[in-house]
Amino acid sequence: MARAVTNRRKTITTAAAWFIAFLIFFPILWTVLTSFKTEATAIADPPVFVAFEWTTENYGTVMERSNYFRHFMNSVVISIGSTVLGLIIAIPAAWSMAFVPAKRTKDVLMWMLSTKMLPPVGVLVPIYLIFRDTGLLDTRTGLVIVLTLINLPIIIWMLYTYFKEIPNDILEAARMDGASLRSEILYVLTPMALPGIASTLLLNIILAWNEAFWTLNLTAAKAAPLTAFIASYSSPEGLFYAKLSAASTMAIAPILIMGWFSQKQLVRGLTFGAVK
């Protein structure tokens, strides 16, 4: 029998959830507000929250100084390209781990995930030299490859958990009907795990979009995404907080909008198989 929850407890829980959500969202809100301030107001002490003269001058300066749309397109190509390439590799890999009996599958998964624990700076020099010698430095192709390899363990791990929730009997029935391996993966497995695949795709687009370490170290101008666009507003002359906030707002707005409209699909995929 379910335990009754009092209205008072519901109210307290809801208020606590909203308070925590506001604390998490506050840095983004502050960045957006600062982008509409003058530089003098942005560094005022004590800080001014909303009682200031609003201006869009910072956005105009950012657009004049930088080619925002080129950085935006680089981010789109790199994040979507690396995610799609990762899914092409990860779906067969996760299928083999989920449905082909093996004694050390969990050990392999743990080893793959452990590669995410390595500090990226530890392999920066060899990867930089490889990219320099192969002509991949400061190219979209190079960043797609490196971000695919970085996020591949997470993609495989997530897809593996989703595939494990699919009854093996369905795949065996497809094999008895004469389905080839390719048909089994494309026309039986993939449609059934579509919510999990969609959430994996969305999450990894966000991870690739926000990746800063590799994009800053492996690009210069041609393939620089929005993370490099933001970093360009940190100069030896100092930080211009209002202009930096405007650049940051322009960089995070697309991914925030995408996350807002896809939140139902993301939650559905992340909870796929959680309730029996």
pLDDT digits (tens, 9 = 90+) for 46-79: 888 878 888 999 999 888 888 889 999 999 999 9
Alpha-carbon distance of 97 to 77, in angstroms, equals 30
* CA gap 28, 263 in Å, rounded: 18
pLDDT in tens, 229-239: 888 876 655 56
- What's residue 238's pLDDT? 58
Q: Which residues of 109-143 are buried (b: 16+ CB within 10 A; e: fewer)?
A: beebeeeeeeeeeeeeeebeeebeeeebbbbbebb
User: Over 70: is that where the pLDDT of 272 sits?
Assistant: no
Domains and CATH numbers, the chain: 66-232 (1.10.3720.10)
User: pLDDT tens digit string along 109-123?
Assistant: 888 888 888 888 888
> Which token pair is 173?
């029935």
Q: How far is CA 10 from CA 14, 18, 117, in A?
A: 6, 12, 39
pLDDT value of position 218:
92
Structure confidence at residue 1 (pLDDT): 46
Q: Region 181-207: what's the mean pLDDT?
A: 85
**Nearest to 58, CA basis, from 32, 30, 37:** 37
* 0.85 exceeded by pTM: no
Tell me what pLDDT residue 208 has. Answer: 92
- Report the percent of the chain where pLDDT is more than 90: 32
d(CA 220, CA 202): 27
